[in-house]
Amino acid sequence: MSALDSSVDALILALRLGLIIVLYGFLLAVFLLVRRELRQQVTKPSNVPGHLVVVEGGSTGLPVGHALPLQAVTALGRAPSCTLPLDDSFVSATHALLTWRDGRWWLRDAGSTNGTFLNQQAVVDGEVPVEYGDVVGLGRLRLKLTP
Amino acid sequence: MLARFRLAELGLLAFPVAFLGVGLALLALVEQGAVASPAELRAWGPLLLFAGLMLAVHFALVARWPAADQLVLPLVAALSAVGLLMVTRLEPSLAWRQGLWLAVGSAALLGTMFLLPRVDWLARYKYTWAALGCGLVLTTFVFGVDPNGSGDRLWLGARGVYFQPSEVFKVLLVVFLASYLAERREVLALVGRRIGPVRLPPPPYWLPLAVIWLLSLGLLVIQRDLGAAMLIFGIFLGMLYAATARVDYVAGGLLLFALGAAFAYEAFAHVRDRVAIWLDPWPQAQDRAYQLVQGLIALGAGGVLGAGLGFGYPEYIPAVHTDFVIAAVGEELGLLGSLAVVALYLLLVYRGFRIALRAPEGFHQLLAAGLSTVLGLQALIILGGSTRVIPLTGITLPFISYGGSSLLVNYAMVGLLLRISAETARSA
């Protein structure tokens, strides 16, 4: 009788331990998955040298200093289909186009309602070259081009 | 791609199922004593039900919304497993009921995911939702019943099936606020007249907002549902901040809250009671503070490792299977157990906000942020109340407390979150 009792007790103890282990194992698994996810986000390869760093985020909710990756041809605008969707209400559906060509960046207004600006100057016709450090303005956003 | 099969979710779901299995086996062993073979344990029923439900939801997601966030369901499953285990331990007669509500909840989750044409559809009817919500709460004012004998007539229903409209109200409020604020966020954030250091938005814009807020608060305070009032206010402030990023609005809101709290303190005896037992429960330990004190003793008795499932004395704590379930968790699973529960809520809120951040446009973002805020704030309020960090209010611990309407509504909210994440992934 007592042998059975003590083996049941041992089993109970083992199960108690197991309960905590499963619980914390789960937390560990979630933590590892989240960490992997965050790493993948950071090291996503960008084959063109450039980012747009948020100087003013308008109503997009993007924090100042956040770096947006750029593609060789980047469409900036409010539509979700844009390469870089920016949800500020003064930004048009397709607002501007930033292109990497011949070793430099070119900015073009894509027919926006409120205009596209480079360092406070309106981009009206065709393409203008953009250097690192220049600030692109669209809607209430100010984005600085960085390497 | 492998991601299409949501293998991460499947793998993670194994943990809550295993947790429930081990827990129920442990409980059965403690209560039954020795058994000849595992098949005799009475644990299999609820375990199979739980596993079946979670797998059903998982496969439904694989079939229709494979791109939705994969961590949310396992987190909710883990919390639900803790809940089911605790109910089985604390009120075995209610265990199958909880299981039933889990089934209804899962159906609600799938319902919101499958039946909603688009998330944006919700935005079109915002005043309908607001009216419906207020109407529901008004109905309790007139027809409210009190099945638990706690003195507050917060339920609607009859013959054993009850549901709490304030739970539905909080979701309707979130949907309304998300839609309203998304439309007006620039105006609220920018335009306005100055009163001292604070800039006020023009009346046509904040007036409907203030009306609904006052209405919700008034109804809830009149109904003596302080927990819900606190929750509603917190949701309102949180979403206002998320939409406008204006700290002065939050500061102003907190000031209003302080004023409201002071008024409530002066005007209502039961508020004074709650604050009194929060500040010093010990003189009233046999009387008004009994529940709180017993809960604190239980947490202390649990220590770090806990007394062991089935070895505690939860019968001393009133409402231990609903509002005070964390005391039972703390007593039997120890600090390790209660910290794990807190971690689970943190992760769920994190996931919800992540879904909000990745959403493409205002309404989705605010809705996801609002839903996460509800879950997190609700957990915070009851955890804080049970541990005497803030005054105690009657509110359920999401997914863990026994309670059908709470479970149903929370599962529906999770369904909405998953739907938002699925639509985000699809439009990317």
pLDDT in tens, chain A (147 residues): 456 677 888 888 899 999 999 999 999 999 999 999 888 876 555 556 788 888 888 888 888 888 888 877 788 888 877 878 888 888 988 888 888 777 788 888 888 888 898 888 888 878 888 888 889 988 888 999 888
Do residues A137 and A118 touch, judged by C-beta distance below 8 A?
yes
Nearest residue on chain B to A9, alpha-carbon basis: B30
d(C-alpha B398, C-alpha B407), whole Å: 7
Q: How near does any CA of chain A get to the CA of B241, in Å? A: 11
A22/B29 Cβ within 8 A: no
- Residues in A touching B308 (Cβ below 8 Å): 12, 16
A59/B71 Cβ within 8 A: no
d(C-alpha B193, C-alpha B174), whole Å: 27
Torsion of CA B370, B261, B217, B150, to 10 degrees: 100
Query: Which residue in B9, B20, B22 has the most chain A C-beta atoms within 10 A of its own C-beta, making it the best mutation to test that interface?
Result: B22
| Strand order across the beta sheet in which A73-77 lies | A84-85, A73-77, A96-101, A104-109, A127-130
Number of separate helices (H) and strands (E) present in chain B: 15, 4
- Residues in A touching B78 (Cβ below 8 Å): 23, 26
Closest among B50, B373, B22 to B232, alpha carbons compared: B373
Q: How near does any CA of chain B get to the CA of A123, in Å? A: 25
Residues B11-63: tens digit of each pLDDT:
999 999 999 999 988 888 887 766 656 655 566 788 999 999 999 999 999 99
- A67-69/A51-57 β-pairing: antiparallel
Helix (H, G, I), strand (E, B) or coil at A134: coil
Q: Does B254 touch chain A (CB under 8 A)?
A: no
pLDDT of residue B1: 45
Q: Does B78 touch chain A (CB under 8 A)?
A: yes
Structure token digits, residue B318: 């009133």
Q: How near does any CA of chain B get to the CA of A22, in Å? A: 6
Query: Which residue in B9, B13, B17, B26 has the most chain A C-beta atoms within 10 A of its own C-beta, making it the best mutation to test that interface?
Result: B26
Q: What are phi and psi of A143, to 5 degrees?
A: -125, 130
pLDDT of residue B15: 96
A11/B16 Cβ within 8 A: no
* Cα–Cα separations (whole angstroms), residue B390 to A91, B188, B382: 44, 31, 9
Scored b (16 or more CB within 10 A) or e, B26-40 reads bbbbbeeeeeeeeee
Please give the interface size between A and B, counted as residue pairs whose CB atoms are below 8 Å apart.
85
Nearest residue on chain B to A14, alpha-carbon basis: B26
d(C-alpha B315, C-alpha B89), whole Å: 11
* Cα–Cα separations (whole angstroms), residue B263 to B213, B269, B272, B279: 17, 11, 11, 18
Cα B261 from chain centre: 23
Do residues B304 and B334 touch, judged by C-beta distance below 8 A?
yes
B247: exposed, middle or buried (Cβ count in 10 Å: 0-12, 13-18, 19+) = exposed
**Residue among A23, A80, A85 whose CB faces B19 most closely:** A23
Q: Does B18 touch chain A (CB under 8 A)?
A: yes
pTM (predicted TM-score):
0.80
Q: How near does any CA of chain B get to the CA of A5, in Å? A: 7
Nearest residue on chain B to A31, alpha-carbon basis: B347
A19/B19 Cβ within 8 A: yes
Q: How many CB atoms lie within 10 A of CB A29?
A: 17
d(C-alpha A84, C-alpha A101), whole Å: 18
Which regions of chain B are under pLDDT 50? 1
Query: Which residue in B6, B10, B15, B348 has the most chain A C-beta atoms within 10 A of its own C-beta, making it the best mutation to test that interface?
Result: B15
For helices B92-115 and B44-64, give the axis angle rounded to 10 degrees: 10
A15/B360 Cβ within 8 A: no
d(C-alpha B273, C-alpha B292), whole Å: 12
Q: How near does any CA of chain A get to the CA of B75, in Å? A: 9
Do residues B122 and B116 touch, judged by C-beta distance below 8 A?
yes
Q: What is the residue whose two structure tokens read 């992934």?
A: B425
Closest among A112, A104, A106, A59 to A82, alpha carbons compared: A112
Helix (H, G, I), strand (E, B) or coil at B200: strand
Which residues of chain A are at the B interface, by a Cβ-Cβ cutoff of 8 Å?
Answer: 4-5, 8, 11-12, 15-16, 18-20, 22-27, 29-30, 33-34, 59, 61, 80-81, 85, 87, 89
Q: What is the residue whose two structure tokens read 């999401």?
A: B398
